[in-house]
Amino acid sequence: MLAALTGQKLLYNYYRIGGVNGDLNHEFMSRLGNWMSRAAAQIDSNLGLMNENEIFVRRTRGLGTLDAATALRMGVTGPNLRATGVPFDLRRDHPYLVYPELEFNVPTRDEGDSLARYMVRIDEIRESIRIIDQVLHEMPDGPVMAKLPRLIRPRPGRAFGAVEGPRGAYGVYAISDGTDQPFRMRIHDPSFVHLQLVGPLTRGNLIADTMAVMASLDPVMGGVDK
């Protein structure tokens, strides 16, 4: 679907400051409609394969347990935090874009282990389908890109903005000196923050458990070097 929209298979050069590169095309909408018609059934089928697998459940339950207090102290966000019972979601707690107009739940679990982190993500897939369905029905026609100058010179000052990404809060802190080049910029990537959990959560476990713990934390190494 994204390749049909952007013309690229891996690195989707689509977002722009002020909008996106182009409007949704017919092929994207057709593929999305076909996927939406069978997504719920596919999820249920996959859940039957995973959630009833005794080996998978026994190998993830109680593994890499993270409590809410530790998660908050270490700056954990996203599904990894919500798996400890903390219902923090920037789309709800600090609304932006059209999220205040949408109906969706913020799934949580209380166990804080690898299985809970997996289950939270499964619940969020269902909520994402709800969000996509609402957006498709409510999205208005109109321009997809604002008219902006080629060089943007923000007023001198500092700002921080964050969005709720798939892995947690993704933020950018920037300082402007009035030129078209940032005086200072720092990126807060949740993968970098969550990678620090691997050591504490694998202590005392088998070496083979390391992959299960890391997979449940879901870090992307491309975000760690930021």
Each residue's pLDDT, cut to its tens digit, for the chain (226 residues) gives 999 999 888 888 899 989 999 999 999 999 999 999 898 888 888 888 888 899 999 999 999 999 999 999 999 999 999 999 999 999 999 999 999 999 999 999 999 999 999 999 999 999 999 999 999 999 999 999 999 998 889 999 999 999 999 999 999 999 999 999 999 999 999 999 999 999 999 999 999 999 999 999 999 988 887 6
Contact (Cβ atoms closer than 8 angstroms) between residue 122 and residue 46 = no
> What does the alpha-carbon distance between residue 5 and residue 159 come to, in Å, rounded to a whole number?
32
Contact (Cβ atoms closer than 8 angstroms) between residue 27 and residue 4 = yes
Question: Beta 15-16 vs 19-20: how paired, if at all?
Answer: antiparallel
Which pLDDT score, from 0 to 100, does residue 226 have? 63
Q: Phi and psi (nearest 5°) for 180?
A: -85, 5
CA quadruple 124, 126, 130, 136: dihedral sign: positive
Which pLDDT score, from 0 to 100, does residue 45 have? 86
> What does the alpha-carbon distance between residue 123 and residue 45 come to, in Å, rounded to a whole number?
14
Find how far residue 107's CA is from the centre of its chain: 13
Helices (H), 52-149: 54-60, 68-73, 78-82, 90-93, 114-138
Cβ-based burial of 212 (10 A; exposed 0-12, middle 13-18, buried ≥19): buried
pTM equals: 0.90
Tell me the one-letter amino acid at 70: T
Which pLDDT score, from 0 to 100, does residue 9 have? 87
Which pLDDT score, from 0 to 100, does residue 146 have? 94
Find how far residue 206's CA is from the centre of its chain: 29
Tell me the one-letter amino acid at 193: V
Give the N- to C-terminal CA distance of the chain in Å, as an integer. Answer: 28
53-224: CATH topology: Cytochrome-c3 Hydrogenase; chain B (1.10.645)
> What does the alpha-carbon distance between residue 120 and residue 44 come to, in Å, rounded to a whole number?
15
Q: Which of 64, 134, 60, 125 is nearest to 99 (CA)?
A: 134
> What does the alpha-carbon distance between residue 111 and residue 113 come to, in Å, rounded to a whole number?
6
